[in-house]
Structure 1
Amino acid sequence: MSSFWLLLLVTNSYAAAVSDNFLKMLSGMQPPLDPCYDDDRPRRCIPDFVNAAFGIPVTASSTCGLKGPWQYCEAPEPNAQIQCNICDDHNPKKRFPASYLTDLNNPNNVTCWRSEPLQPPTSAHAPPDNVTLTLSLGKKYELTYVSLQFCPNTPKPDSIAIYKSNDYGKTWQPFQFYSSQCRRVYGRPNRATITRANEQEARCTDAHRYTGGDGLSLGHMSRIAFSTLEGRPSASDFDNSPVLQDWITATDIKVVFNRLHMPAEDPSDSLDVLIDQGYKRIDEEEEDKDYKHFEEEDEDNQTKGPSVQLLNEMQVIDSEEPKPPPTAVDLTSNGVVVNNFNHRVTHQYAVSDFSVGGRCKCNGHASRCITGRDGLLTCDCKHNTAGRECERCKPFHFDRPWGRATTKDANECKACECNQHARRCRFNMELYKLSGRVSGGVCLKCRHFTAGRHCHYCREGYYRDPTKQITHRRACKPCDCHPIGASGKTCNQVTGQCPCKDGVIGITCNRCDRGYQQSRSHIAPCIKIPPVVQMMATEEHNDGYARNEAETNSAGDNCGKCKTATRRLNLNKYCKRDFAIMVRVLSHVDDPVDEHTKGWVRYMITVESIFKKARDSRIRKGTTSLLIPSADLACKCPKIKVSK
């Protein structure tokens, strides 16, 4: 063997070995696991927990430097020398935009949003600041917390309101309140107890003021974090609490900064402050029963309130006279005009991070959210569900009601059973209950001549073809009942037998039964064939002559009463007759004694006119014979007269 062929053989053997190993490797690889299924059985699945606010634009009602250069001043720590700087949105190094709220939170490089410097309030009755931050998540999320981290060397605000929206900002619902004086600022009790009867009620708390001593964060960053389920009684049974499921659902979050500091109270207000901290006036105990669940604060907290001394040290509040509005002062040598507060600590809000922790709301039917063709974030729905939140069953899967997936039941939507004869169906709760909560789907617009809730039988005018499955598109065949022979168009849906008229047979009623012959009548298409010998004798014995009683009874008591009245043959009676002819009796014939004619009398007749006869009738015009039973002739039924 030449070296070339040897090399080729070795190469082919090597290639075959590599191919076999590759196939074995592929066969050993398992497909990626779907968190929504366990061995093809559906199970609850949820998207990953994320910071839903990360990278999302925030709309701020006020931003320092956005309308021009502003001066702001702050103290690095209490009693320290005040340091002033300039914010200017046109200078990248001096910008404090709202986009810094949701960027990457790096403790080594803190970025802050700052509001414009505000005129500090002079009393507790002054209008609130109402600086707002609005975050639109772009989709429904189930939120676990809302967190605000404030910038270094800035105070933690005294009064903050957090709102949520479930309809993309059309309506807003209170989510949480923070204030040192909840009742005065928000009209709500401090640290109210939540029960199962009011689990969607927003609470107000002053706990944020006591974090870190005086509640002011100088030299380090401080944070407030609102836990959406904390203190809610049904949190431990969240899967079965639609109230809490709706409570933590939000598309938008709005934070309203109402008070940076609470000004010193007027003497007349001191009692209201004590009441807000948990105390009551004796004469108002009966009126204030709604707040009997509030507990008294311990003695250390009874005197806590706004830190007036510290605020004065920071020169935020001037107790002698109101502070003048901001004035424009040229602080730079190049002529740039900035606004300043005469080197006082600036009254402004500063936040370094705005976080919203939660999961993309998919109701337990998706493990991730993806960007759809319309550019919107939507759930990658499984379990035969559909919608941005997998909040409904996808088309044709309405055999059971939609439900949120739980740890016990994935509540997978089931396809309607329509035997492949319908493309649409609907859900019927009554049928679902009657079936023992097994099936509630009703098929719509059954095709292929089928009918029924499941398109499981043939519609009127069709019957089931026994040679085909019910799922076959030709499982139902037309009855094809004969329009004259059948008494209706509906046949038996099992056998296909049409309802036939008297004397008519066949599956489609298309032929006459034995002993019947076809007529030209639509009412009686098949009529019974009488013996020819009895044709004249049984034609109602109507010969046009009247008989008297003596003639009727002369044959003896064995003769019945003959019908002697003359009758007119109307169209209906005419159609029911097999024959309609006119004959003339010629003569009586005496036959010799014969076994075949014994008991009969023969007459010679001539058929003059034939008005109606059956198709296979042998009657012809001309002379023929007629046999009449001798017993009938003796009774004169009929009464035969020659030449009549």
Structure 2
Amino acid sequence: MASCRVLMLVLFAMPPVPALGLQDEYNRCVEQERHERDGRSLGVPRACRPAVLELVRYARFRLDPPNVTCGNPSNKFCRLENEYMCGECDSSTPELSHPPSLMFDADRYTTFWQSVTWQNNLRPFIINITLSWGKSVELTDDIVITFESHRPSTMILQRSMDHGHTWHAYQLYAKDCLKTFGMRSASILNLSANSSLKVICTEVYSSKFPSKEAQVVRFEVYKRLKLHSGPSQQDPATLYNSLESNRVLRNFFTLTDLRICLLEPAIWGDFVDQRNLNKYYYAISDVQIRGRCQCNLHANECEVGEDGILGCVCQHNTTGRDCKQCRTGVWSRGSYLPYPRGTANGCTAPKYGECICNGHSSRCSYIDQLNLLVCVSCQDHTRGHRCQECQQGYYRNVSAPINASNACIDCACDLFGAVHDHCDDSGQCQCKEGTTGLKCNQCEPGFHWHRGCQLDVCDDGFLQCQNGGDCQGGRCICLPEFSGLRCERRGCHGSDGALCHSEAARSRLAPKRVVAAAFGATFALWTWDFGRRSR
């Protein structure tokens, strides 16, 4: 099965959004404080953020494959629990049409999107639904997906923080987690503050014999946040302190895109009924996602721009859709805590010199202990107080100026042939014994390549293979009844340095597992062997 793929764009019409403020401890971006000597009122920057929104109203959605909505041409579908109760989907008739926009309309329970059925020869039956905001948003409450059909047997909820370039799992859903994803089933009740960001597989929302009354699938955001609210899970101050000190915690609930990967529809029992594939399909009536614009504590308003995408109304001399850049001046680190303790990460006038980062950063910070102005968050694999050096594992591209995006080049040292992953200024990696080449991916004479360069055990002259073995590339290829480095032992044992001619028995496994990367770890995605599971 292919991983969740890049999806075709279908725009969702968004209503105008008023500039909204938040009436709590974060609602003011500037706090007026009276000067002690002359009584003048001074504006002091404070950490602030916008109000909570129904984020689906401001998203653009896309489907993959793009032609998976039912009704074009019209098609028949039946109930899973009763194959004789059937209906028709027809996009040319409003009453029988179920377009994707009905997942996000105001009528949450009587209108719905519906896919084609498994009768349409989708093998496997995978559909991806992606919501994109064009900027960073942060979740404040549970993600709730309401199905008009039975809840799927298998699905994954994923997030992206870089507009869909990379994806990380939020949660896995299956009726048998161990069999499907190689993970034990768990629930939010199994988590603690130390494990609140763990990606789990849950069987709570999937069943071998699904019920039509059970239609809701959740990703529990609120309960995860409560785990950081003190022993009683009721203390906001403790949560603020956790968010202040734990950047990973803040980032876990921040995303630019959300993807719903529908991997298998509800199936009654263990087998797919090939005689009536019209009863297998997906249908979603509502998606609820509550959160706010991520403005890096520099805005208490968020509004739709001329391009139809949400953007922060930035203060504190910041700019950008997420208020991540300084208009002018130097970036000063503040606090996530609310007023009066918290202060925003502000942009102030350069008191200690000009912020020069060679085009790889727009922010600087002054370090009192060193009396030094340093660049913050150097990009393009650069480092140094002016982003003038390359990170470990990269070397300076002498053909490009220091302010170019390709000023630093990946050393690309071979994993098996090099001592480590960094190189000298010419790009030469440090090679292991017997290995040579710029990237340490070639062997010196007398060595052969096998996960690095290994000393030859045979040649065409003095070092010959025994018992009829054949020397190929410095290794002995033994006859089936012999093994060992030079085929000196009777019996095939698969010793290092020698190859046996016996073929490993292969069995046809179903289901198959496909490994995919997510959140820095690996997990298995499901691919159904349709013929093996059919009856």
TM-score for both structures, normalised by structure 2: 0.52
Deviations 1:522-572 (A, max 9, x none): xxxxxxxxxxxxxxxxxxxxxxxxxxxxxxxxxxxxxxxxxxxxxxxxxxx
Structure-2 separation of matches of 1:135 and 1:164: 10
Structure-2 separation of matches of 1:174 and 1:360: 21
| Code of the aligned partner of 1:207 | V
Contact 1:384 1:397 (8 Å CA) reproduced: no
* Residue of structure 2 in register with 1:553 after alignment: none
Q: Which has the higher strand share?
A: 2
Offset of 1:244 from its aligned partner? Answer: 1.4
Structure-1 separation of matches of 2:51 and 2:324: 18
* Residue of structure 1 in register with 2:199 after alignment: 202
Contact 2:133 2:309 (8 Å CA) reproduced: no
Structure-1 separation of matches of 2:267 and 2:315: 52
Please give the secondary structure, in 2, of the residue aligned with 1:389: coil
* Residue of structure 2 in register with 1:350 after alignment: 283
The two structures, once aligned, show a CA RMSD in angstroms of 3.6
* Residue of structure 2 in register with 1:323 after alignment: 274
In the alignment, structure 1 residue 396 sits paired with structure 2 residue 329: yes
* Residue of structure 2 in register with 1:133 after alignment: 129
CA gap 1:189/1:87 in 2 versus in 1, 3 angstroms:
same
Structure-1 separation of matches of 2:115 and 2:172: 20
* Residue of structure 2 in register with 1:116 after alignment: 116
In the alignment, structure 1 residue 47 sits paired with structure 2 residue 50: yes
Offset of 1:356 from its aligned partner? Answer: 1.6
Offset of 1:248 from its aligned partner? Answer: 0.8
* Residue of structure 2 in register with 1:572 after alignment: none
The correspondence for 2:346, drawn from 413, 436, 441, is 413
Offset of 1:354 from its aligned partner? Answer: 1.5
Offset of 1:217 from its aligned partner? Answer: 2.2
Please give the secondary structure, in 2, of the residue aligned with 1:100: helix
In the alignment, structure 1 residue 164 sits paired with structure 2 residue 159: yes
| Code of the aligned partner of 2:116 | E
Offset of 1:163 from its aligned partner? Answer: 0.7
* Residue of structure 1 in register with 2:185 after alignment: 190
| Code of the aligned partner of 2:112 | C
Indicate the structure whose relative CO is greater, using CA pairs within 8 Å and at least 6 residues apart: 2
CA gap 1:106/1:260 in 2 versus in 1, 3 angstroms:
closer
Residues 151-550 of structure 1 aligned to structure 2 (within 5 Å) = 151=148, 154-191=149-186, 193-194=190-191, 199-209=196-206, 215-218=210-213, 222-228=215-221, 230-231=223-224, 233-234=227-228, 236=239, 237-262=242-267, 264=269, 323-324=274-275, 341=278, 346-372=279-305, 375-398=308-331, 400-401=332-333, 404=336, 406-407=338-339, 408-418=341-351, 431-434=367-370, 440=373
Q: Which runs of 5+ in 1 are unaligned?
A: 1-32, 266-316, 327-340, 443-644
CA gap 1:91/1:374 in 2 versus in 1, 3 angstroms:
closer
Structure-1 separation of matches of 2:85 and 2:206: 25
Offset of 1:136 from its aligned partner? Answer: 1.3
Offset of 1:255 from its aligned partner? Answer: 0.8
Structure-1 separation of matches of 2:131 and 2:171: 16
TM-score for both structures, normalised by structure 1: 0.44
| Code of the aligned partner of 1:228 | V
* Residue of structure 2 in register with 1:518 after alignment: none
The correspondence for 2:101, drawn from 99, 102, 110, is 99
Please give the secondary structure, in 2, of the residue aligned with 1:378: strand
Offset of 1:162 from its aligned partner? Answer: 0.5
| Code of the aligned partner of 2:111 | T
Q: Which has the higher helix share?
A: 1
Offset of 1:91 from its aligned partner? Answer: 2.2
Offset of 1:374 from its aligned partner? Answer: 5.2
Offset of 1:119 from its aligned partner? Answer: 4.8
* Residue of structure 2 in register with 1:146 after alignment: 143
| Code of the aligned partner of 2:215 | S
Offset of 1:156 from its aligned partner? Answer: 1.9
Structure-2 separation of matches of 1:140 and 1:351: 25
* Residue of structure 2 in register with 1:309 after alignment: none
* Residue of structure 1 in register with 2:455 after alignment: none
* Residue of structure 1 in register with 2:13 after alignment: none
| Code of the aligned partner of 1:43 | R
| Code of the aligned partner of 1:178 | Y
CA gap 1:256/1:374 in 2 versus in 1, 3 angstroms:
closer
Contact 2:297 2:344 (8 Å CA) reproduced: no
Offset of 1:37 from its aligned partner? Answer: 2.2
Structure-2 separation of matches of 1:115 and 1:411: 46
Deviations 1:107-134 (A, max 9, x none): 4xx111111011599xxxx975222211
| Code of the aligned partner of 2:29 | C
Structure-1 separation of matches of 2:211 and 2:198: 28
Structure-1 separation of matches of 2:27 and 2:157: 37
Please give the secondary structure, in 1, of the residue aligned with 2:56: coil
Please give the secondary structure, in 1, of the residue aligned with 2:244: helix
Please give the secondary structure, in 2, of the residue aligned with 1:138: strand
| Code of the aligned partner of 2:72 | K
Please give the secondary structure, in 2, of the residue aligned with 1:390: coil
Deviations 1:571-593 (A, max 9, x none): xxxxxxxxxxxxxxxxxxxxxxx
Offset of 1:367 from its aligned partner? Answer: 0.9
CA gap 1:401/1:255 in 2 versus in 1, 3 angstroms:
same
| Code of the aligned partner of 1:246 | N
| Code of the aligned partner of 1:225 | R
Structure-1 separation of matches of 2:211 and 2:31: 51
CA gap 1:262/1:373 in 2 versus in 1, 3 angstroms:
closer
Offset of 1:403 from its aligned partner? Answer: 6.0
Structure-1 separation of matches of 2:348 and 2:319: 13
CA gap 1:199/1:417 in 2 versus in 1, 3 angstroms:
same
Contact 1:51 1:356 (8 Å CA) reproduced: yes
Structure-1 separation of matches of 2:350 and 2:76: 72
Total equivalences in the alignment: 317
| Code of the aligned partner of 2:323 | C
Deviations 1:482-531 (A, max 9, x none): xxxxxxxxxxxxxxxxxxxxxxxxxxxxxxxxxxxxxxxxxxxxxxxxxx
